[in-house]
Structure 1
Amino acid sequence: MRDFLYFIVEVIAIIHSKILSLNDTWEYNLSDKELHFLVIGIIGMAMIFVVYPVFKWLANRNCIMTISWIYVFTLIIVLTFAIEIGQKVTNTGTMDFADIMFGLVGFIFMFAIFAVLREIYHLICRFIKKSMKK
């Protein structure tokens, strides 16, 4: 986990240095906070232009559960990273990428069980409605 996080930090540091060098080259003299404002704003808007059409398409197909799953899965990723970082900072456990993976697999496994039970419920409801129409 530590190696993975250091790799991510290195990649971010390289991108950060390139953006700072562009800032110096073009003589904009933007502060670090102004650069964060611009870069995160641009990344966020790029994500909106990708996510919005996908979610709109899913909503039109009545796939609200899929939208919910994507949202919760994203939150679970953030939560598991926060827990691991918290364990490192507070020395209450070891920071391990495998812990994150097991947590995510646990959510996927439990959701799969839920999805199967939900589908059985919907099949029973359809069967009852169909038999009442006869």
Structure 2
Amino acid sequence: MKEFILLLAEIINTLHDFIFAVTRQAGWNLTDKDLHLWVFGIVGILAFLAVNVVFKYLAQYSITAISFIYTFTVLLVIVFAIEIQQKITGRGNMEFHDAVISLWGFILFFAGYLVIKGILYFIKKLFRKNSKRE
């Protein structure tokens, strides 16, 4: 188990270093916190979308709130696992603020999702209302 955890930590660290190097080469000069926000925002919203599809398939009604709670819980575990592995391996800084900003990334992307979903809902409702008048 220890070897597996160390292997996962090495993969994550290598990926972190790669993303950090690519963003530096692109001239973005992102901080570690910026990187956490974007990576976890994107990973989080993709995880949410996958979970939501599966749950909607299994359920006869929308369970968006349950999907959000489930995804947020999984991300919470992943975020703290990464912070712990940073402490264990000495690569990166184990900071509570990193964990918070990572989760904010997901919350921000989820809020964007809800806004888009709400706009589409009201557009559909408007078209239904106009089609009934004709």
Please, what TM-score do these two structures have when normalized by structure 2? 0.51
Q: Which amino acid aligns with 1:118?
A: K
1:64 is matched with which residue? 63
**Distance in structure 2 (CA, Å) of the matches to 1:85 and 1:132:** 56
**Distance in structure 2 (CA, Å) of the matches to 1:100 and 1:123:** 35
2:118 paired with 1:115: no
1:131 is matched with which residue? 130
Please report how far the alpha carbon of residue 84 of structure 1 lies from its aligned counterpart in structure 2 after TM superposition.
Answer: 0.6
Please report how far the alpha carbon of residue 93 of structure 1 lies from its aligned counterpart in structure 2 after TM superposition.
Answer: 0.6
Root-mean-square deviation over aligned CA pairs? 1.7
**Distance in structure 1 (CA, Å) of the matches to 2:115 and 2:63:** 16
**Distance in structure 2 (CA, Å) of the matches to 1:79 and 1:125:** 37
Structure 1 or 2, whichever has the larger Rg, is: 1
1:84 is matched with which residue? 83
Mapping for residues 19-34 of structure 1, pairs under 5 Å: none
Give aligned-pair identity as a percent.
Answer: 43
Q: In the comparison of the two structures, how many residue pairs are matched?
A: 75
Q: Which amino acid aligns with 1:78?
A: V
Please report how far the alpha carbon of residue 70 of structure 1 lies from its aligned counterpart in structure 2 after TM superposition.
Answer: 0.5
Instruction: Detail structure 1 runs of 4+ shifted over 3 Å in the superposition.
Output: none
* Unaligned residue ranges in structure 1 (runs of 5+): 1-58
Tell me which moved more, 117-126 or 85-94: 85-94
* Unaligned residue ranges in structure 2 (runs of 5+): 1-58
Deviations 1:82-119 (A, max 9, x none): 11111112222110000001111111111111111110
Higher relative contact order (CA 8 A, sep 6+): 2
Deviations 1:5-28 (A, max 9, x none): xxxxxxxxxxxxxxxxxxxxxxxx
Please report how far the alpha carbon of residue 63 of structure 1 lies from its aligned counterpart in structure 2 after TM superposition.
Answer: 5.2
Deviations 1:32-85 (A, max 9, x none): xxxxxxxxxxxxxxxxxxxxxxxxxxx89x551111101011111001001111
**Distance in structure 2 (CA, Å) of the matches to 1:123 and 1:76:** 30
2:94 is matched with which residue? 95
Q: Which amino acid aligns with 2:67?
A: S
Q: Which amino acid aligns with 1:86?
A: Q
